[in-house]
């Protein structure tokens, strides 16, 4: 007598897994090309004197936020090289803004990424924010090794079959 066959695994709600549970790159060939936008944000908290170095432009390594902006843009463009299952996308726009907040002793980074394509740009926006904040850390670590990055999240995404989404 043979044992009954094991039931087939239930399909995963996670799109990066096939029916057998193996990781794969999602097939987007049947998706329509639409204008897609994502905005993400995050912050890095630091000592007040570290923030003063950034605001005053007196950090030893130079223009902290200018360099961090370029790093964030470059990171958005290279996201598919960093995140294994991301599609390489022809980005049409990457805008990165930094805001200093003396009351909270932090720098906030917001990135907006756009494309005309078959998949969204949330990962590109999140990667831009994180690398922008990492660059702030790198440029200021000699003054403050205790900086903390956090609150990194998607604020909104637009376009595609699933429509628009906004954080609450």
CA distances from 109 to 13, 88, 105, 133 (A): 31, 23, 14, 7
Cα gap 107→159, rounded to integer Å: 29
| Backbone phi and psi for residue 109, each to the nearest 5 degrees, phi listed first | -120, 130
Q: Which residue carries 């897609």 as its tokens?
A: 36
Residue 164 falls in the annotated catalytic set = no
Catalytic residue from among 30, 138, 144, 164? 138
**Which residues are designated catalytic?**
138
């Amino acid at each position: 007598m043979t044992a009954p066959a094991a039931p087939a695994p239930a399909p995963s709600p996670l799109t990066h897994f096939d029916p057998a549970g193996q990781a794969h790159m999602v097939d987007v060939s049947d998706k329509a090309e639409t204008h897609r936008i994502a905005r993400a944000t995050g912050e890095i908290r630091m000592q007040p004197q570290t923030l003063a170095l950034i605001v005053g432009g007196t950090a030893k390594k130079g223009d902290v936020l200018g360099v961090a902006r370029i790093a964030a843009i470059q990171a958005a463009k290279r996201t598919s090289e960093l995140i294994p299952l991301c599609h390489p996308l022809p980005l049409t726009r990457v805008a990165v803004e930094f805001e200093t907040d003396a009351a909270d002793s932090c720098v906030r980074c917001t990135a907006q990424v756009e494309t005309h394509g078959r998949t969204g740009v949330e990962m590109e926006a999140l990667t831009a924010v994180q690398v922008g904040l990492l660059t702030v850390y790198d440029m200021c670590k000699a003054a403050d090794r205790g900086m903390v990055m956090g609150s990194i999240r998607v604020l909104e995404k637009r376009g595609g079959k699933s429509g628009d989404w906004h954080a609450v």
